[in-house]
Amino acid sequence: MLIIGITGTIGAGKGTVVDYLVEKYHFKHYSVRKYLTKILDEQGLEPNRDHLTALANSLREKNKSPSYIIEELYNQARTQGGNAIIESIRTIGEIEKLKTLGKFVLLAVDADQDLRYRRAFARKSETDQISLEKFKADEAREMTSMNPNNQNLAGCIQQANHLILNNHGIEELHEHVNQFMQQIQNQ
């Protein structure tokens, strides 16, 4: 079983990459957001970015593992079988744990901040209908942390095996994904 972990900045195109890998390469998708949203729904809380982030940090701390959520998703993937994508890797501990569980590759997706904000806002999801100032503040909060249970996107991106800069259209993004997959298949 091959596991591709997806990390990257807000609105960079991680979901579009996942959709393409699922459609063209037949990966199964395991989403941290969906996992957390289900818990928030059960608690009667709105699935906004603040609640998602607080819940993720709390689960990691409560379970004394910065990789707790990813381990839960990995167990689902192992039960289902086949190649898997786990989206979105946000802590160094998640990367370290996945490296011990089998064949694992980390893909980071990034793009220019203003473009990412426009993309995120255009998605019209509950978590993305925010001001540019709030977008920047959320990103700054998630970018680095010395607490191993909190998001550290900059650290995760630095550890990626491959980085896609998604500043152009979807056809170019798909070509980058195809090149990434070719590299994996050649290893």
* DSSP symbol at 146: S
The rounded distance, in Å, linking the Cα atoms of 3 and 5 is 6
Q: What is the reported pLDDT for 26?
A: 97
Q: What is the reported pLDDT for 128?
A: 67
The rounded distance, in Å, linking the Cα atoms of 152 and 132 is 21
**157 CA to centre of own chain:** 11
Q: What is the reported pLDDT for 126?
A: 66
Q: What is the reported pLDDT for 55?
A: 97
Degrees to nearest 5, angle at CA 115 with 111 and 116? 65
Instruction: Order across the sheet with 28-31: list the strands.
Output: 28-31, 84-87, 2-8, 103-110, 162-165
Q: What is the pLDDT of residues 64-96, one digit of tens each?
A: 999 999 999 999 999 999 999 999 999 999 999
Low-confidence ranges of the chain (pLDDT < 70): 126, 128
Q: Which domains does the chain have, with CATH numbers?
A: 2-186 (3.40.50.300)
Q: What is the pLDDT of residues 128-150, one digit of tens each?
A: 678 899 899 999 999 999 999 99
